[in-house]
Amino acid sequence: MTTFLPKEVADGLEAARKQALHSKSRLRVQSGSETLTVLKYWDGGFSVDLEDAPQLRGLVDLYDGSIHLYQCLIVASEEEGSEMRYEFKRNTRAVKTAPLDFERVENGPIALIGQS
């Protein structure tokens, strides 16, 4: 039995695999005004489609749908098949509020009431 596939069939299988990864991935990376679908994500980085991938580097934002997850400092790592891999230099969790520079007392006053 032979494992040889004609080029058209192999290309069709690769296109179907990419389409499945695109459709089931909710993760996306945004760099400036450009948004790319993340095909794979792991603790140290992520990968995007090689055909869509510019040479990203620097500060990017990582989203799950519309939820901002991380602000990342990335560097291009390597090409692996039809994917471009990027590694994190820094991966900071996105927060909705600015960090406090003072200790908030649990039962402290919320506001001051002025005298009339």
Residue 65 belongs to a domain with what CATH number?
2.40.10.430
Residue 72 CA to residue 92 CA, distance in Å, equals: 6
In a domain, 111, yes or no: no
Per-residue pLDDT of 93-105, as tens digits, reads 888 887 777 787 8
In a domain, 113, yes or no: no
In a domain, 100, yes or no: no
Residue 38 CA to residue 15 CA, distance in Å, equals: 16
Indicate the helix (H) or strand (E) that contains 84.
strand 83-93
> Percentage of the chain with pLDDT > 70?
87
In a domain, 57, yes or no: yes
Q: Where are the alpha helices (H) located in 1-116, listed in sequence order?
A: 7-24
- What the block records as the tokens of 62 is 């990582």
14 three-state secondary structure: helix
What's this model's pTM, rounded to 2 decimal places? 0.66
Per-residue pLDDT of 38-69, as tens digits, reads 888 899 999 888 887 777 888 999 998 888 99
Q: Which domain holds residue 78?
A: 26-93
In a domain, 83, yes or no: yes
